[in-house]
Amino acid sequence: MLLTTLLRLFQRLRFEQLFHVDWLVNPTGATYRFTDHFKGFEKVEAVKQIFGEKTIEVLQNLKVKFTYIGGYMWIDARDGSLVVSTHYLNEGDKTGIYLDLVHELVHIRQFMEGKKLFPAEYDYVDRPTEIEAYQHAVHEARRLGLNDQQICEYLKTEWMSNEDLRKLAKSVDVKCT
């Protein structure tokens, strides 16, 4: 029962950190350079659009932590680092991982601008910070040639209700049938 509850909580960690359990999230405490693990992002137009002239500098300074607890990836709002699930990285859909990285990089810029990434007054799909990040990822998905149905599949997560998915899809102008 407790395990199921915990698993469910961890599954919610796709784009956000709901709580801070460092020893569990990152037992070794090790941080890595984003550019050592994710190559060539400084050349991606969608990423250059996020950071402009600061693209190379921001990516070089960005730290990554890897976690075994599952979920997908999210920003540690205390230090602005990216946390990535190793399981997701190894087993996840490569296009989805790429789009998630684009999404998270939008959050990195928001973090640098001092925006509150997880405002409690909004539901997840209503947060302006999320909508902006999803819009950017959807734009990149379209550029890659994904159709609305495929993008809709990408937006769908196991913890999102149909109503939330509908709302999010509408906010980012994707037709989910």
15 binding Zn ion? (CB under 5 A): yes
Nearer to Zn ion, 130 or 140 (CB): 130
State the Cα angle at 74 between 65 and 20, rounded to 5°: 75
Nearer to Zn ion, 55 or 127 (CB): 127
What is the helix (H) or strand (E) element at residue 36, kind and residue range? helix 34-37
Least separation, in Å, of the C-beta of 3 and Zn ion? 26
Question: Site mask, Zn ion, residues 134-163, x = CB under 5 A?
Answer: ------------------------------
Judge contact between 148 and 136, C-beta under 8 A.
no
What is the helix (H) or strand (E) element at residue 110, kind and residue range? helix 94-112
Least separation, in Å, of the C-beta of 61 and Zn ion? 20
133 binding Zn ion? (CB under 5 A): yes
DSSP state string for 85-109: EHHHHHHS-HHHHHHHHHHHHHHHH
Nearer to Zn ion, 13 or 133 (CB): 133
Least separation, in Å, of the C-beta of 2 and Zn ion? 27
State the Cα angle at 137 between 132 and 142, rounded to 5°: 125
72 binding Zn ion? (CB under 5 A): no
| Residues at the interface with Zn ion (CB under 5 A) | 15, 130, 133
